[in-house]
Amino acid sequence: MSETKKSRQERIRNFSIIAHIDHGKSTLADRILEATQALTEREMKAQTLDAMDLERERGITIKLNAVELNYHAPDGETYIFHLIDTPGHVDFSYEVSRSLAACEGALLVVDAAQGVEAQTLANVYLALENDLEIIPVINKIDLPNADPDRVKQEVEDDIGLDASDAVLASAKTGIGTDAIMQQIIDKIPAPKGDPEAPLRALIFDSLYDAYRGVVVYVRIIDGTLRVGDKIKMMATGKEFEVLEVGVSTPKIETRDALSVGDVGFLTASIKSVHETRVGDTVTGAERSAAEPLPGYRRMNPMVYCGLYPIDTARYNDLREALGRLELNDAALQYEPETSEALGFGFRCGFLGLLHMDIVQERLEREFNIDLIATAPSVIYKVVHTDGTTEEVGNPSEMPERKFIESIEEPYVRATIMTPNDYVGAVMELCQRKRGEFQTMEYLDANRTHVIYDLPLSEIMYDFFDSLKSSTKGYASMDYEMHGYKMSDLVKMDILLNAEKVDALSVIVHKEFAYDRGRAIVEKLKELIPRQQFEVPIQAAIGQKVIARSTIKALRKNVLAKCYGGDVSRKRKLLEKQKEGKKRMKAVGSVEVPQEAFMSVFKMSHDD
């Protein structure tokens, strides 16, 4: 029965859920919310933690969320659970590491049929680096092809965790939820920390709210955070006065203070998330901590692309929209840029391709701006003949060859987990993508880790799709940045109607230039509709044309019939035709559809 009453700090459990996409993280979160009766059934919509439409559609978490839940345990105590959600994509691995740093434990959810995947592994390693207690949960045991014993073995072999106590669960049906709750209490340690010490709170997320300014999500490591406190961000040095502190249950509840072990939010009239960087430490402005919490890192974009409004009159709308997104997205960078072909727009920096996709989609969906996105580019380091170095993130700004001494490009170290049968296919793919073999690790009788260094630019070009298709979907992969290497790269220009289109320029490896050039001109021929005149398409390196094709002139476009006096139908057809042209960009005298600009990028896996 009831033991001696535990202190609040002793009753706190902070944890997150680590899972590969589709392995059931959100469903499990829902079960935990139910078990703690955080929401009435009426309030319970499926997958509560993923709030943004985009997240729901893509089944991934972009923005983190943390909830405080009260769990009435069988031992008579009421425990305070803080469930911290983490994004599930490699683009956001730094954010994952910070939210894990806010926890003492993690539930590792593994699909009972799919088993451990490379990306799960990456996050488990992050959790282990942060000294988290890991509770394995084998999920979806009710599926017909579930094989919990095999998956348990994988957890032991691949990760080195003791899986003898792993919970067998079905988050969908609720099997195993009670056991999970009990293990959270028993295995995850209560937070340590000194409530009397100077404040140290870890920022693991922040979001912009139009009414309250930035809402900063923090984990209190030491000290106490009270309304009215003067606080300082240790990395940016910015000071604020706390207006509000509280927790999400997941309804917003304000409190007077947050103390050691608490996970909650603060607001302080902060204008932009750039002042509250993830990983930074909040301390008292007057009574400051001597040392910030470890691990702060400023996130730098890895991928750049140009974003241009199709309708040039909407340039200011685009600027405003980017400004609005930036309030909420500390990783997004942008600066004005001009293209001869596309007019005024912005060069934008992203953490990765998914981040780029999300930003583009939000601009189109939430701000209703039709965009042209140029093919994404990595950042090249160019050494000039005069010895100076320059970073180039826009292919059209690559200097002329005669001024270039050498070019370096970013590499990643990729860890690919594949069934043994596909090791050959994986290696073949990596070789084709200019990969440099590093090592191979045999995980068990069936699976192997293949480790390659690959140019980031090659990873961007449909590498994931090629990997999936050449391994029937069995391989998974994770990667981390791995410095710069010198490469034999050239700039390839695309000419439409004999005019260079700067927005279509790409940097390619010299050896692949010919094939890429040919693939791109053929793809453009397919995508650009016939015009009133013949349009030659050329790919050129410097003055030398390496591939060419021709879009024939439009020859017939006239509706034969008037449909027995149905004029409205004819009108609709003409309006549709006109609308279609609005979604094209006039480049010189050639009407180019939106998707053509990305084609130089989408194309590349066929080379």
Q: What is the DSSP code string of 256-300?
A: SEE-TT-EEEEE-----GGGS-TT-EEEESSS--SSPPTT-----
Comparison of 554 and 586: residue with beta carbon closer to other proteins: 554
Joined tokens for residue 541: 């390196």
- Would you say 216 and 266 are in contact if contact means Cβ atoms under 8 Å apart? yes
Smallest separation (angstroms) from other proteins to the CB of 593: 16
Backbone torsions φ then ψ of 576, nearest 5 degrees: -65, -40
Comparison of 298 and 576: residue with beta carbon closer to other proteins: 576
Smallest separation (angstroms) from other proteins to the CB of 526: 14
Q: Alpha-carbon dihedral of residues 277, 282, 284, 289, nearest 10 degrees? A: -110
Joined tokens for residue 398: 């690559």
What is the C-alpha separation between 488 and 506, in angstroms, rounded?
14
Total residues in contact with other proteins, by rule CB under 8 A: 26
Smallest separation (angstroms) from other proteins to the CB of 228: 57
Locate the DSSP E strands across 351-488: 371-373, 380-384, 389-392, 404-419, 436-442, 447-455, 476-487
Smallest separation (angstroms) from other proteins to the CB of 368: 18
Write the interaction track for other proteins spanning residues 113-152; mark x where CB under 8 A is met and - where it is not: ----------------------------------------
Q: Would you say 25 is a known binding-site residue?
A: yes
Comparison of 254 and 532: residue with beta carbon closer to other proteins: 532
Q: What is the DSSP code string of 180-191?
A: HHHHHHHHSPPP
What is the C-alpha separation between 456 and 464, in angstroms, rounded?
12
Joined tokens for residue 317: 């709308």
- Would you say 304 and 348 are in contact if contact means Cβ atoms under 8 Å apart? yes
Write the interaction track for other proteins spanning residues 530-569; mark x where CB under 8 A is met and - where it is not: x-x-------------------x-xxxxxxxxxxxxxxx-
Smallest separation (angstroms) from other proteins to the CB of 557: 5
Comparison of 7 and 557: residue with beta carbon closer to other proteins: 557
Comparison of 445 and 558: residue with beta carbon closer to other proteins: 558
Smallest separation (angstroms) from other proteins to the CB of 564: 6
Write the interaction track for other proteins spanning residues 433-452; mark x where CB under 8 A is met and - where it is not: --------------------
- Would you say 455 and 411 are in contact if contact means Cβ atoms under 8 Å apart? yes
Comparison of 74 and 564: residue with beta carbon closer to other proteins: 564
Comparison of 72 and 582: residue with beta carbon closer to other proteins: 582
- Would you say 252 and 264 are in contact if contact means Cβ atoms under 8 Å apart? no
Smallest separation (angstroms) from other proteins to the CB of 577: 5
Q: Strand 263-267 and strand 213-222: pairing?
A: antiparallel
**Exposed/middle/buried for residue 60 (C-beta within 10 Å: 0-12, 13-18, 19+):** buried
Give just the sign of the alpha carbon dihedral 263, 265, 270, 274.
positive
Comparison of 2 and 568: residue with beta carbon closer to other proteins: 568
- Residue partners of 368: CB distance under 8 A and separation at least 6: none
Q: Would you say 141 is a known binding-site residue?
A: yes
**Exposed/middle/buried for residue 465 (C-beta within 10 Å: 0-12, 13-18, 19+):** exposed
Smallest separation (angstroms) from other proteins to the CB of 565: 5
Q: Would you say 444 is a known binding-site residue?
A: no
Question: Closest by alpha carbon to 260, among 573, 56, 534, 7?
Answer: 7
3-state helix, strand, coil in the chain (%, to 5): 30, 35, 35
Write the interaction track for other proteins spanning residues 496-535; mark x where CB under 8 A is met and - where it is not: ----------------------------------x-x---
Write the interaction track for other proteins spanning residues 563-582; mark x where CB under 8 A is met and - where it is not: xxxxxx-xx-xxx-xx--x-
Could you give the angle at which helices 25-35 and 177-187 cross, rounded to 10 degrees?
80
Should residue 313 be labelled a site residue for other proteins when binding is judged by CB under 8 A? Answer: no
> How many other C-beta atoms are found inside a 10 Å radius of the C-beta of residue 603?
21
Comparison of 500 and 569: residue with beta carbon closer to other proteins: 569
Comparison of 46 and 560: residue with beta carbon closer to other proteins: 560
Q: Return binding residues for GTP.
A: 22-27, 139-142
Pick out the residues of the known binding site.
22-27, 139-142
Contacts with other proteins by CB under 8 A lie at 530, 532, 552, 554-568, 570-571, 573-575, 577-578, 581
